[in-house]
Amino acid sequence: MQNITPAQLAQWLADGDRSQPTLLDVREDWEVQTCHIAQSKNVPLGDVPARLSELDADAPIVCICHHGMRSARAAMFLEQQGFSQMFNLDGGIDAWARQVDPSMPTY
């Protein structure tokens, strides 16, 4: 697993020549309703093991949570399951809101 900063992820998402990652938001539904990055897929952390078939093990996946702890656990778990391109959003959605999208609500 690699950590990725909000600025690095924003650059990646803006790069039309680069294969886009799956944005796996492992927060609870109520958190995602408060704020989220467009195109993210919400799978609460506790549901990840049962929903592995929804994810491509060979594609880049960026795990996202509130501050980066749950997403790090999810990324490590997925690596243990054979997923090869795992990233953790350093600082989570909170850092994204503060550094990339200041219009995004925080909690």
Residue 35 among the catalytic residues: no
Q: Which of 65, 72, 74, 95 is catalytic?
A: 65
Query: In angstroms, rounded to a whole number, what is the distance separating the alpha carbons of residues 70 and 77?
Result: 11
Say if strands 22-25 and 61-64 run parallel, antiparallel, or are unpaired.
parallel
The residues pairing with 25 across neighbouring beta strands, listed in sequence order, are 42, 64
Alpha-carbon dihedral 15, 16, 18, 21, rounded to 10 degrees: 80
Q: Which residues are catalytic?
A: 65
